[in-house]
């Protein structure tokens, strides 16, 4: 098997499925620029082991799947590793790609608990623990999310929890419970932020942009309990199938064009020969 080819295709599928730009993905993986990412996706270079681990943790995927040694994209082990990495970042006051204060961290966790009604995250007893590794493990293991959220949905949640800020999470929550009517949502959100953080954060807050809105709303709808089985919003495996189909079609078209060009050349050569004979 060509592992480099498999990795490049699966790396692109991950980024495409979540609608992440090269710049966004480079920032997520703490790369200096998007050049490295571009070289990975085009089979020009291979990532370091550290990069592979970071990719797997961010998306909750199996490294074996990423490099083509397995067809199982998610495992309970890969998901747990990703969730531990997420809550370790949160416990270190690093949320949504930026450093935050202790109060912001606690508010972020409370927001996730609120939106999920305690099904995805249950904070009972978490803040009484003094050792961060125990807090992290309790955030991952003390809830019932394994029963209500399939692995593919937990992967979506893992990525979105990395990307969505507390402010946008509250905005999307109020928007959804308001029947997806924006009227009054910004005012309610700013009032909530004022009570939690004060005017420093509430006053400058504005309605999130289109991409941020979509991510925050998807996060809320995936977190909220439902009697129906949840399905992923971002389907990496389906995206991969589409990319592979497009690649095969491209190869088919290139072969067809080459054959057409060869026929044209052969026909042209034949005409030239006959013309030359006539002239003789």
pLDDT tens per residue, range 122-151: 888 888 888 878 888 888 875 566 778 999
Q: Is position 84 within any domain? A: no
Query: How many beta carbons lie within 10 A of that of residue 264, not counting itself?
Result: 10
Residue partners of 235: CB distance under 8 A and separation at least 6:
17, 152
Angle between helix axes 210-223 and 166-177 (nearest 10 degrees) is: 70
Residue 92: predicted pLDDT: 82
Residue 131: predicted pLDDT: 85
Residues paired with residue 99 on neighbouring β-strands, in sequence order? 94
CATH code for the domain in which residue 32 is found? 1.10.260.40
Residue 100: predicted pLDDT: 77
Residue numbers of the domain that contains 278: 235-280
Is residue 111 within 8 Å of 166, Cβ to Cβ?
A: yes
pTM exceeds cut of 0.85: yes
Is residue 138 domain-shared with residue 187, that is, in the same domain? yes
pLDDT in tens, 7-41: 999 999 999 999 999 999 999 998 888 999 999 99
pLDDT in tens, 43-55: 998 899 999 999 9
Residue 257: predicted pLDDT: 80
The radius of gyration of the chain's CA atoms, rounded to the nearest angstrom, is: 25
Residue partners of 42: CB distance under 8 A and separation at least 6:
8
Residue 127: predicted pLDDT: 83
Is residue 153 domain-shared with residue 67, that is, in the same domain? no
Is residue 111 domain-shared with residue 154, that is, in the same domain? yes
Q: Is position 88 within any domain? A: no
Q: Is position 83 within any domain? A: no
Residue of 106, 108, 84, 82 lying closest to 96 (CA atoms): 108
Length of the chain: 280
Residue 14: its H or E element: helix 3-17
Residue 250: predicted pLDDT: 80
Given a cut of 70, the residues of the chain with pLDDT beneath it are: 1, 96-97, 142-145, 261-264, 266-280
Residue 242: predicted pLDDT: 95
Structurally, how many domains does the chain consist of?
3
Is residue 100 domain-shared with residue 229, that is, in the same domain? yes
Q: Which residue has the tokens 């504005």?
A: 206
Is residue 128 domain-shared with residue 54, that is, in the same domain? no
């Amino acid at each position: 098997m060509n592992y480099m080819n498999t990795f490049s295709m699966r790396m692109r599928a991950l980024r495409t499925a979540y609608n992440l730009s090269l710049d966004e993905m480079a920032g997520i993986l703490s790369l200096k620029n998007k050049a490295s990412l571009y070289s990975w996706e085009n089979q020009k270079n291979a990532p370091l082991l550290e990069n592979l681990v970071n990719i797997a943790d961010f998306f909750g995927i199996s490294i074996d799947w990423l490099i083509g040694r397995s067809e199982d994209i998610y495992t309970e082990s890969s998901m747990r590793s990703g969730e531990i990495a997420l809550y370790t970042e949160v416990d270190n006051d690093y949320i949504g790609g930026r450093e935050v204060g202790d109060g912001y961290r606690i508010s972020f966790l409370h927001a996730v608990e609120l939106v999920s009604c305690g099904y995805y995250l249950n904070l009972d007893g978490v803040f009484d623990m003094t050792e961060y590794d125990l807090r992290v493990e309790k955030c991952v293991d003390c809830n019932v999310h394994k029963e209500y959220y399939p692995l593919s949905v937990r992967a979506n949640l893992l990525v979105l929890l990395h990307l969505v800020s507390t402010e946008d999470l509250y905005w999307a929550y109020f928007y959804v419970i308001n029947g997806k009517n924006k009227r009054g949502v910004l005012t309610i959100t700013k009032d909530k932020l004022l009570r939690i953080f004060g005017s420093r954060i509430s006053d400058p807050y504005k309605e999130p942009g289109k991409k941020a809105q979509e991510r925050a709303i998807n996060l809320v709808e995936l977190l909220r309990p439902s009697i129906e089985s949840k399905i992923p919003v971002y389907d990496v495996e389906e995206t991969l199938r589409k990319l592979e189909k497009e690649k095969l079609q491209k190869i088919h078209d290139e072969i067809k064009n080459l054959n057409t060009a060869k026929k044209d050349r052969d026909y042209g050569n034949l005409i030239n020969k006959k013309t030359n004979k006539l002239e003789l």
